[in-house]
């Protein structure tokens, strides 16, 4: 069975492991803090590749940022990584083929191949963490758009410039539905800049009425965005993932989405592949690409 040496490069951590064609992690998982320099990031990758590439048929990297349609390079800047990250020549890090994909796209593929959206034709995966990621699968293919940037969850929630998004624009879905978005809603509602996401989650557990209101507003924003996506894509299912997804009431979200004038019901599901979805998905993609030449 063929294997990939997988990486997941995020804003705070880099993970690495060996993943097989079935999407199983068959090694220890190595973890590193993401270095703040380009050379630092390259060093981490190089050392892992030197150590493990003989055990793998391909190098598979899930990364923050958009990845081109050839899966060879990151295009454009990535807010959470060092400036100029996209200039890294990933191909020269190994004698073997190096295959890249955006982390949310990779996670969506993991869900499609071995997780919650298995067997569907049209699915959307949303990741709610510090930010919000998205991956769209149409007819057995990751939908990448003209340059690889498709799946960006930066449609607007308001049209009157209320809240800046980390992307530089205004009122994006990410700005209201990420963990950071929840914190910002709490800050505004309580007029307290020090309130945290954890405070809200804790408050909900303790039945604090204000925290419940803030939490429900956050979940309502998530619903409002999904309604728009469902009308655009008419998907079989929408998969919710990421560290914040565990707090969501999936059944309630599904009921609200489907009560908002949707032609045929859409299934809302919690992700199944969890923490290492990025490494698993990019490995499956990379090994399929190897198979297809």
Q: For binding to a copy of itself (CB under 8 A), which residues are involved? A: 66, 75-76, 120-122, 134, 136, 138, 143-160, 167-169, 176, 220-221, 224-225, 227-229, 231-236, 260-264, 266
* Nearest to a copy of itself of 135, 203 (CB atom): 135
Residue 41 burial (10 A CB sphere; 0-12, 13-18, 19+): buried
CB 229 to a copy of itself: min, Å: 7
Closest approach, Cβ 2 to a copy of itself, in A, equals 27
Q: Which long-range contacts (CB under 8 A, 24 or more apart) does 139-143 make?
A: 142/101, 142/105, 142/108, 142/109, 142/285
H helices of the chain, in order, are: 38-52, 103-114, 173-177, 179-190, 197-205, 209-233, 250-259, 277-291
State which residue, 36 or 161, has the beta carbon closest to a copy of itself.
161
Minimum Å gap between C-beta 169 and a copy of itself is 5
Nearer to a copy of itself, 148 or 278 (CB): 148
For residues 258 and 275, which CB has a smaller minimum distance to a copy of itself in the complex?
A: 258
Phi-psi region of 10 (alpha: psi -120 to 50; beta: other; left: phi over 0): beta
Please answer whether residues 29 and 83 qualify as being in contact, where contact means their C-beta atoms are separated by less than 8 angstroms: no
* Minimum CB distance to a copy of itself, residue 85 (Å): 14
DSSP-derived letter for residue 164 is: B
Residue closer to a copy of itself, measured from CB, 140 or 207: 140
The distance of closest approach from Cβ of residue 78 to a copy of itself in the complex, given in angstroms and rounded to an integer, is: 11
Residues 6+ apart with CB under 8 A from 106: 8, 62, 135, 277, 278, 279, 280, 281, 282, 285
Minimal distance in Å, beta carbon 212 to a copy of itself?
18
Nearer to a copy of itself, 42 or 231 (CB): 231
């Amino acid at each position: 069975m063929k294997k990939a040496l997988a990486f997941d490069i995020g804003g705070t951590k880099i993970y690495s492991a060996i993943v097989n064609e079935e999407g199983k992690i068959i090694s220890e998982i190595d973890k590193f803090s993401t270095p703040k320099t380009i050379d630092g990031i390259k060093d981490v990758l190089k050392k892992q590749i030197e150590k493990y590439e003989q055990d793998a048929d391909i190098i598979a990297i899930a990364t923050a940022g958009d990845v081109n349609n050839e899966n060879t390079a990151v295009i454009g800047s990535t807010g959470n990584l060092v400036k100029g990250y996209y200039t890294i020549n990933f191909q020269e890090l190994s004698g073997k083929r190096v295959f890249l994909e955006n982390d949310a796209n990779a996670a969506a593929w993991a869900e499609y191949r071995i997780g919650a959206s298995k067997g569907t034709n049209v699915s959307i995966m949303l990741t709610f963490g510090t930010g919000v990621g998205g991956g769209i699968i149409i007819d057995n293919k990751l939908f990448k758009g003209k340059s690889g940037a498709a799946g960006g969850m930066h449609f607007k929630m308001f049209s009157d410039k209320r809240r800046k998004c980390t992307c530089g624009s205004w009122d994006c879905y990410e700005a209201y539905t990420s963990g950071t978005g929840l914190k910002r809603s709490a800050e505004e509602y309580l007029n307290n800049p020090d309130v945290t996401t954890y405070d809200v989650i804790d408050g909900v557990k303790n039945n604090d009425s204000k925290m419940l209101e803030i939490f429900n507003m956050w979940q309502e924003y998530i619903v409002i965005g999904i309604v728009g996506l469902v009308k655009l894509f008419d998907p079989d299912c929408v998969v919710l993932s990421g560290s914040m997804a565990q707090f969501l009431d999936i059944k309630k979200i599904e009921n609200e989405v489907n009560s908002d004038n949707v032609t045929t019901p859409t299934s809302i599901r919690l992700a199944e592949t969890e923490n290492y979805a990025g490494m698993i998905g990019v490995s499956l993609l990379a090994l399929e690409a190897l198979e297809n030449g």
